[in-house]
Structure 1
Amino acid sequence: MKPYQVISIVECNEPLIPIPDDRFILENPPAYVKLGADYHGKSPYYLRLGVLNRLLTAREKLREIQPHWQIKIFDAYRPVWVQHFMVDYTFNSICVDRSLDINILTAEEKASIYEEVYQIWAIPCDNPLTPPPHSTGSAIDLTLVDENGRDIDMGGEIDELSPRSNPDYYKNSTIPQEKVFHQNREILLEIMTYAGFRRHQGEWWHFSYGDQMWAWLQNLDNPSLNSSAQYGISIDTK
């Protein structure tokens, strides 16, 4: 159980709304579809209404800071079964990379690998009290692109299982290129924070509004808020 999962959820029942492709760059085809995930005819490019409105606010803020840059959506709404797929995919990828035979792993070895997997991936659970953030429709993975449609270099890839995924990995670097990486991450943080989002403590690309993680981070900064989550597992994931 992750610390944010103790937060209570007071579901507001906002609908999932498609992310407009005329205002954002959408990864096409979707990242996990390319890996073999089956969305059962659904799309990852949905968010709760209030979350989408805040993303539009972030877009306007970006236009003030970097008028020719755009927000690129890597992933948003994620059904629980896709969460299962990606946990299994990542587990298997680690085994392949390390030339490990899944069939003869000990229980301790499996547990150790899953510990690594869950550094990035939320536990795929359909318990309404502890939903994966993306399955609520309130979490989003994103980056920025320049005027030529090229990804802004953040010094690491989305979903990368390495220390570079930590948002502040380059914060104290004196290497000029790495300082640029940090500045780019800070621009992404600035526009999303301006719109009310909170950033995952271990992932520079993951932001959310209204889910358990968001409320937990709010309360860490100001315990007197006693924030609850507004979004539980989306009805479309059931």
Structure 2
Amino acid sequence: MRPYYQIPIIECGEPLVQIPLELFAVESPHPYQKLGANYEGHSPYYLRQTVITNLIQAQNYLQLLHPHWHIQIFDAYRPVAVQQFMVDYSFREALRNRGLTETELSPQQQKEIWAAVYEIWAVPSLDINTPPPHSTGAAVDITLVNDTGEIVNMGSPIDEMSERSHPEYYLNSNQEYYANRQLLYSIMLKAGFQRNPREWWHFSFGDQMWAWLYNQSHPQTVMTARYGRLTENTHTNFQ
């Protein structure tokens, strides 16, 4: 159980809105669609309205420091079904990387591999009290693209299941990678986002993780989440 699931959700009802992709760099086609994830004909590039507003603000902060650089959007709103697909895919990849098959796994090996998967991936929960962050429309996975269109080197790819994904991993070993991660963090923090402590690329605004992290750094505050899991009935603007 993630510690942020203790945070109450007071859903504000803000709609999902399509991200104005012309303002950002974008991974195309969407990386999970390339793997076979089914978004049921919808675009994956949606977020809550205020999250988009804040993301644009972060991009403006970036361009004050580095004109012509852009935030690149890797992933945004993720239905729970896609969360399940990616969890299952990552489990299979972890098996393949270890040269194992599921039928030959010992109980201990299975436990260790699932632990590695859930180090990165939230449980694809349908419980309204424990939604995966991306299924709220509040979380976005991003990196940076420089003025020549090259992805800025962060020292590890998005979604890598290893300690290199931890934001502080390169603090004492590679100042270039660490500085790039800190640049991304600084512009997002200034725009109101919080960063997943386990993933250099994952930022959110308004969900349980965001509120929990905010409360950690502001002990005098009791912040609640404003965005919960979206259902077919609550994201009518999703198209």
Q: How do 1:48-59 and structure 2 match up within 5 A?
A: 48-59=48-59
Q: Provide closer, same or farther for how the CA distance between residues 95 and 138 of structure 1 changes in structure 2, counting only shifts above 3 A.
A: same
State the match for 1:158 in structure 2. 158
TM-score by length of 2: 0.95
State the match for 2:237 in structure 1. none
Q: Whole-Å Cα distance in 2 between the matches of residues 60 and 46 of structure 1?
A: 20
Give every structure 1 segment of 4 or more consecutive aligned residues whose post-TM-superposition deviation is greater than 6 Å.
none
Please state whether the residue corresponding to 1:235 is helix, strand or coil.
Answer: coil
Please state whether the residue corresponding to 2:74 is helix, strand or coil.
Answer: strand
CA positional deviation for 1:22: 1.1
Q: How do 1:140-219 and structure 2 match up within 5 A?
A: 140-173=140-173, 178-219=174-215
State the match for 1:3 in structure 2. 3
Q: Whole-Å Cα distance in 2 between the matches of residues 158 and 182 of structure 1?
A: 15
Q: Whole-Å Cα distance in 1 between the matches of residues 172 and 62 of structure 2?
A: 24
Residue by residue, what CA displacement relative to the aligned partner does 1:56-115 show, whole Å, maximum 9, x if unpaired? 110110110111210100000000000000000000111111111212323332222111
Residue by residue, what CA displacement relative to the aligned partner does 1:99-148 show, whole Å, maximum 9, x if unpaired? 11212323332222111100000000111100000000000000000112
CA positional deviation for 1:237: 8.6
Q: What amino acid is aligned across from residue 96 of structure 1 in structure 2?
A: R
Say whether 1:70 aligns with 2:70.
yes
Q: What amino acid is aligned across from residue 211 of structure 1 in structure 2?
A: D
Structure 2 residues without counterparts, runs of 5 or longer = 235-239
Q: Whole-Å Cα distance in 1 between the matches of residues 158 and 232 of structure 2?
A: 25
The range that moved more, 95-104 or 136-145, is 95-104
Q: Whole-Å Cα distance in 2 between the matches of residues 237 and 111 of structure 1?
A: 36
Q: Whole-Å Cα distance in 1 between the matches of residues 202 and 53 of structure 2?
A: 17
Residue by residue, what CA displacement relative to the aligned partner does 1:26-82 show, whole Å, maximum 9, x if unpaired? 110001011111111122210000111100110110110111210100000000000
Q: What amino acid is aligned across from residue 124 of structure 2 in structure 1?
A: P
The range that moved more, 147-156 or 128-137, is 147-156
Report the identity percentage: 50
- How large is the Cα RMSD of the aligned pairs? 1.2
Structure 1 residues without counterparts, runs of 5 or longer = none
Q: Provide closer, same or farther for how the CA distance between residues 96 and 181 of structure 1 changes in structure 2, counting only shifts above 3 A.
A: same
State the match for 1:228 in structure 2. 224
Q: Whole-Å Cα distance in 1 between the matches of residues 136 and 230 of structure 2?
A: 5
CA positional deviation for 1:235: 2.5
